[in-house]
Amino acid sequence: MECNSYNEKVRELSYVEFPTQYVWNESDKVWTRKKTKTKSLGRINHVSPKSGDVYYLRIFLNKVEGPTCYEHLRTVNGTVYDSYKDACYTLGLLDDDREYIYSIQETDHWATACFCRSLFVMLITSDSLSRPHHVFKETYNCHSDDVIHVREQEIGVKGLKQKPEAIYHLTLSYIEKSLLSCGLSLKQIPNMPLHDQKYIQDSCNMLIQYELNYDPSSLESEHQQLHSILNVEQKNIYDIVMNEVNNKKGGIFFLHGYGGTRKTFVWKTLSVAIRSKGEVVFKVASSGIATLLLSSGRTAHSRFHIPLNLNENSLCSITPGNDVAALLNKASLIIWDEAPMMHRHCFEAVDRTLRDIILPKNNDKPFGGKTIVFGGNFRQILPVIQRGNRSDIV
């Protein structure tokens, strides 16, 4: 359609009404007024609402009289809209789907969220909705009420905690699953949001769910209490480490302190601060007895799958892409207590492994770019005797 000038009679006609008074002259390639009063019927082929702008263009051609160009169709009261859809709503040519929104909200009073999602999918597949994305936004709470309960049943974990954004993407994934069974997809519905596969993968990883299964609000209260009683040195350590974690710089630190200097209290404050944000922190120790002082602590061998027989070329038993590797990728901080008790080959094996599995690859950074805080007391280990044998050391 090109912008051409028409006489006033033509401007009073819609695209569909045009053939009733004009006929196409094939030889001259122009429209001419009919000389006989033969009846003609104008018609435009059916277009599904899922066709996007083509559907809204068809509405205009049926309703707007005397269009001269595409820009003319999108102009309402002197304002040129970016899409035919926005112009249609301004002219009141589309329903606002209010009756469908009320229907889903009413259904939520007596039915499950799963049933509400099924109803929403049925309305989409029957082309009943003018703006599916608007209906989803208005009725989101009706669709997401049971997401945590469903995930608890699927993975067998009680008292599961999920971030709001994780619930949002899981809800979209359940709707997508129902649409796929009907031969459709969220990608085919204009303006509908798409679920992020990362949240789906994390929700299926039991190790990640275990590490995130905390109440952020209670942890935040505990964090404020612990932070308020840090002394000057402890607060300085806290600020330095948290700055590295927040900026994702991947720093490596060693906290040296004698017994009774409250190193464990610093570990607790750091871990609570990070977990209150819904992030993952690892707390490991070199011995099983030391892990008893760490909340949710593990031995380094258990957490990193360090081999028992080590050499200078050893790697941990973690392969890229498995659940343990995914968990390590999500870790914001690693706390390693009683580090001087371990052989250097342990740290070298963990370093090589993290460089291999952490994404994006940071082979030039120690430990794959993760922030690690080692701790311990060198007075608790045997002295190093240069070129000494075992009897000299003992």
Lowest model confidence (mean pLDDT) among 6-15, 157-166, 241-250, 317-326: 6-15
Q: 326, 202 in Cβ contact below 8 A?
A: yes
Question: How is 162-196 classified by DSSP, letter by letter?
Answer: --HHHHHHHHHHHHHHHHHHTT--GGGSTT-----
Residue 31 has a pLDDT of 73
Cis preceding linkage at 19, omega within 30: no
Q: 203, 171 in Cβ contact below 8 A?
A: no
Q: What is the pTM of this model?
A: 0.60
Residue 15 has a pLDDT of 64
Residue 334 has a pLDDT of 95
CA 326 to chain CA centroid, nearest Å: 15
Confidence of residue 1 (pLDDT cuts 50, 70, 90): very low
Residue 284 has a pLDDT of 94
Domains parsed from the chain with CATH numbers: 8-91 (no CATH), 98-204 (no CATH), 216-380 (3.40.50.300)
Number of helical H runs and strand E runs in the chain: 20, 9
Residue 237 has a pLDDT of 94
